[in-house]
Homo-oligomer: A and B are copies of this chain.
Amino acid sequence: MDNINIKILAKKLNISTSTISRAFNGSPDINKDTKERILAFAKEHNFLPNHYASNLRDKKSRTLAVIVPEIANDFFAQAINGIEEIARKKGFYILLYRTDDVFEKEVSFINYLNNGKVDGIIMSVSGEANDHNYLRQLEQKNIPVVFFDRVYEDIEAAKVITNDYDSSFAATEHLIDTGCKRIAYLVVNKSISIGKVRMQGYIDALQKHGIPFNDELVIDCSNDEKVNYGILKKVLEELKPDGIFSSVERLAFATYYVCHDLNIDIPRDLKVISFSSLHIAPLLNPPLSTITQPAFELGSKAASLLFDELESKGLPIQKKQHVLKSKLYIRKSSGG
């Protein structure tokens, strides 16, 4: 009973394997009655066509890979939901992989996938000025890739991003409007695409309002909570900014913790605004002003684009960059 397969079924039903195959694949060339008989019998005997055998024949896996830096993160979790939604509709499986923002893990995973394991890949990248040839090899094997949020500029692929420059500009301008003169920009890696673009919005907004850009106020943080706490504590004590624009949610949280310990009152002493997908931002103390990206939509759009490519049957498709809009929610942390 361990190994029911199409042949055994065929024997038991006194019918050929081809007919059984047809019953399962919606082929029009089959008698309705035989089909029903087969499906009923198959169900009774707990038979389902083996995916791996089918995949081997078809060179199609109905599976796609999702590669993200983190999973336990509101933004990515919601994006994955969006991807899942579309994939489910198409009857596709999702293979999930987390890079922890380590470039080597990304490379190694992609290399593993380079053999028909998946039909396509959706990813938010974890490196920047590196050699991206491992991705070019996918092209050769006709495995399409779609980037979302964090992209590689030098790779030609469909991309879904948000209007980060505009949002950053607007957020910075908002802080300036509330009276901030010394606005610090918090970033995890200012060299990656996202860090760069968001910083440019910040810089240009300062310039527009005649505030000199101060390199010192660009705070390069890490992925380690404790390290960030230390960095930010020093910044708040020594540089005494009056505004914080955080390009990443968790740096805003770290700021909150530091302010609490240093008795710095938000928003009186320090205004804070941050990129964040946190649903309960209004419940924080004080409610956090956020630039909220349409995470779910980024995911579902990316998935849709991937399916467009898969369904284009190799015909060249326009691989352009799609820009979705984030929303600015002004709350109490920035004086709202």
Interface residues of A in 87-106 (CB under 8 A from B): 93-98
Q: Check B46 against A114 for contact (C-beta < 8 Å).
A: yes
Q: List 12 A-B contacts (CB under 8 A).
A: A48-B115, A51-B115, A51-B117, A66-B96, A71-B84, A72-B77, A72-B80, A84-B96, A95-B95, A256-B280, A256-B283, A285-B287
How far does the Cβ of A108 sit from chain B's closest Cβ, in whole Å? Answer: 10
In the bound assembly, the distance between CA atoms of A71 and B76 in angstroms comes to 10
Number of copies of this kind of chain in the complex: 2
B residues in contact with A326, CB < 8 Å:
none
Residue of B48, B280, B287 near A114 (CB, 8 A) is B48
Once the chains are docked, how many angstroms separate the CA of A115 from the CA of B93? 14
Q: Compute how far the CA of A142 lies from the CA of B73 in the bound complex, rounded to whole angstroms.
A: 34
Chain B residues with Cβ under 8 A from A253's Cβ? 279-280, 283
Q: How far is the CA of A50 from the CA of B95 in the complex (A)?
A: 16
Given contacts A52-B56, A72-B78, 15 further A-B contacts (CB under 8 A): A1-B140, A2-B141, A46-B141, A48-B112, A50-B56, A56-B56, A71-B80, A72-B77, A84-B97, A93-B95, A94-B97, A95-B95, A96-B96, A257-B282, A284-B285
What residues of chain A have their CB less than 8 Å away from a CB belonging to chain B? 1-2, 46, 48-53, 55-56, 61, 63, 66, 71-74, 77-78, 80-81, 84, 93-98, 111-112, 114-117, 137, 140-142, 253, 256-257, 279-280, 282-287
Point out the residues of chain B lying under 8 angstroms from A285, CB to CB: 283-287
Cross-chain contact of A283 among B55, B115, B257 (Cβ < 8 A): B257
- In the complex, what's the smallest C-beta–C-beta distance from A263 to chain B, in angstroms? 16
Contact A81 B55 (CB under 8 A): no
Q: A72-B78, A78-B72, A285-B283 are in contact. Are A46 and B95 (CB under 8 A)?
A: no
**A84 contacts across to B, CB distance below 8 A:** 71, 96-98
In the A-B complex, the 8 residue pairs with the closest CB atoms: A285-B285, A72-B77, A48-B115, A52-B55, A96-B96, A52-B56, A51-B117, A72-B78
A97 and B95 CA atoms in complex are apart in Å by 9
A81 engages B94 (CB within 8 Å): no
Q: Report if A71-B61 is in contact (Cβ < 8 Å); known contacts: A51-B116, A137-B46, A285-B284.
A: no
